[in-house]
Amino acid sequence: MSLIKVEIKPGPVTFEIQGAPGSASLSQFQLVRVGSVGPFPTARHEPDDVAVVQQLSSIVSALEDRSRAGHLGCVVFIGRADKRRLRPKIQAIYDSNTGLAQARAKWVKSFILGRTPSILDPNYVMLLATGPTNIGTDVPPDQLAIDRSVEVYACRAK
């Protein structure tokens, strides 16, 4: 039995979280994209660009606005990495691109939690890591950069 069901249709993403078998609780949530952080430098989980600070500030503001309006139930951070293989030295740190994507999501989560302690409960934060969206044999460098990012979503009960 699956505990999480995700439906992707035109419009907002919705998902259901179901309790243990026999539990009567079933909640529906709506996921709304708050922003994106990146691109991150190749093979690193910490950004080094001034534009990233602006992106993070924008996300913090959006989360504060959603909280004031009563529209913030949880926050989901989805880290991504590009399709290139990690060099051995970098692989020793992250193990894989998935590990690098997760480290990026953790960095963004830590940054945002540090600036929003009164509105974000760490118990209502989810980290995910996913693969690249730009695949194939001839992916230009600017498209690879797009995959070195973290997407931030807010969710609330419907």
Residue 153 sits at φ, ψ, to 5 deg, of -125, 145
CB 129 within 8 A of CB 79: yes
Record the pTM. 0.79
Instruction: Match 């539990």 to its residue by tokens.
Output: 23
Residue 143 pLDDT > 90, yes or no? no
**CATH code for the structural domain at 32-157:** 3.30.1330.60
- Reduced to 3 states (helix: H, G, I; strand: E, B; else coil), residue 131 is coil
Give the tens place of pLDDT for each residue, 37-76: 998 887 778 777 778 889 999 999 999 999 998 888 889 9
Record the tokens describing residue 52, joined without a space.
């990233």
Parse the chain into domains and list their residue ranges: 32-157
CB 78 within 8 A of CB 153: yes
